[in-house]
Amino acid sequence: MKRIGRATIKQVASAAGVSTQTVSRVINDRPDVSRQTRERVKQVIDQLGYQPSAVARSLIRQRSYTLGVVTAGLKFIGPSRTLSGITSAAERAGYSLLLQELGRFNPEEMATVFQRLVSHQVDGVIWAVPEVGENLRWINDPSLDLGIPVVYLTIHSRKAINIVSIDNYLGGQLAMTHLIEQGYERIGHISGPLDWWEARERKAAWREGLKQAQLPYEEEYCVEGTWSSRSGAREIKRLIEQYPEMDAVFAANDQMALGVLQYACQSGIRIPDELGVVGFDDIPESEFFWPPLTTVQQDQNNLGEVAIEEIIKIIESEYDERDPVRPKAILLAPTLVARQSSMKGMGQEGGGAET
């Protein structure tokens, strides 16, 4: 039975017959404690219900065990999913988060943002703001010396900084390869807003996929949406007017693909026989669209978790005086989930297939 009331580290040490320093070593998972002693101390900690003080832990290790997170665009599915992954992984690792949400994608006073986080003594920062327009031009500013590790998410690769991103170009390739293998030959594209790096990567994969397969390509075979379902319905109408021969469309996210499906249903266009449709994201609702939507699955929750793992590796290497972690770019591979909206010959009465 666990003790009622808050136990102290001295009580744990006394009950286990060790010094408070040994208890501290066990709490901090230091290697210089024998297995028998470690097990005995952990047993006493469990019996007494001892909860190490976060303040004491910080003083012992001279760290805050707090990470700054800068984010924006939480109304969009991607950033909100990523933040969920960051939060759960940080909690498991014993870190608190200090969240700074930007009101827009093009912040100008980055020094102020980081100074606020540094003043709270965060051990590192995760920059989880999507790359939109010129909002990252400050990265190579030599005057902005942060003095703490930073991991950047959802940006294109740059030298000498730590990056974790989904491979959006590969995702676009998967979508195009699937459509071409299904026999579609006149494939249009509804891009996301092209000031977003992710949207440009997906469009580039569409363009190159057509060229490599020697299929028709013209710039007017692409229209630009805003990530919303409303823009998908609006832009598919415009795209069909510009490209009446089109037999398939790659939409840069699932919400715009939903608009495509609605417009097709209202216009009497049979999917997938007259128009194949592929989206991007694999939102939970996509398998319940009608017909169920083929889409590119990107695990943005995992993106946030990997970011936490990487920044903790960097922090630990600095505090334990190990060899520093060299800056690198990690690209997480998406996968294709094949469903009925792009499977020729299945019509709207058949089932779907997932890969």
In angstroms, the CA 338 to CA 344 distance is 11
Domain segments of the chain: what residues?
9-61, 66-167+300-333, 168-298+336-342
Task: Check residue 321 and give its pLDDT.
Answer: 58
Residues ≥6 apart with Cβ < 8 Å to 83: 69, 71, 74, 128, 304
Among candidates 83, 68, 76, which has minimal Cα distance to 118?
68
**Tens-place pLDDT, residues 249-296:** 999 999 999 999 999 999 999 999 999 999 999 999 999 999 999 999
Fold of 9-61: 434 Repressor (Amino-terminal Domain) (1.10.260)
Task: Check residue 64 and give its pLDDT.
Answer: 80
Residue 196 has pLDDT above 80, yes or no: yes
Predicted TM-score (pTM) of this structure: 0.78
| pLDDT band, very low/low/confident/very high, at 220 (cuts 50, 70, 90) | very high
Strand ranges of the sheet holding 222-224, from the earlier edge strand across to the other edge? 222-224, 187-191, 248-251, 276-281, 294-297, 335-337
Q: Which helix (H) or strand (E) is 294 found in, with range?
A: strand 294-297
Domains 9-61 and 168-298+336-342 share a fold: no
Q: Which helix (H) or strand (E) is 332 found in, with range?
A: strand 329-332
Q: Rounded to 10 degrees, what is the CA torsion of 222, 228, 234, 240? A: 30
**Tens-place pLDDT, residues 300-326:** 999 999 999 999 999 888 766 566 778
CA 241 vs. chain centroid, Å, equals 35
Task: Check residue 20 and give its pLDDT.
Answer: 76
3-state class (DSSP) for residue 193: coil
Domain 66-167+300-333: CATH architecture, name and number where available: 3-Layer(aba) Sandwich (3.40)
3-state class (DSSP) for residue 277: strand
Residue 75 has pLDDT above 90, yes or no: no
Asked if 114 and 69 count as a contact pair (C-beta separation under 8 A), the reply is: no
**Residues 92-117, mean pLDDT to the nearest whole number:** 82
CATH code linked to domain 168-298+336-342? 3.40.50.2300
Asked if 229 and 255 count as a contact pair (C-beta separation under 8 A), the reply is: yes
In angstroms, the CA 97 to CA 118 distance is 13
| pLDDT band, very low/low/confident/very high, at 25 (cuts 50, 70, 90) | confident
Among candidates 305, 302, 293, 309, which has minimal Cα distance to 334?
302
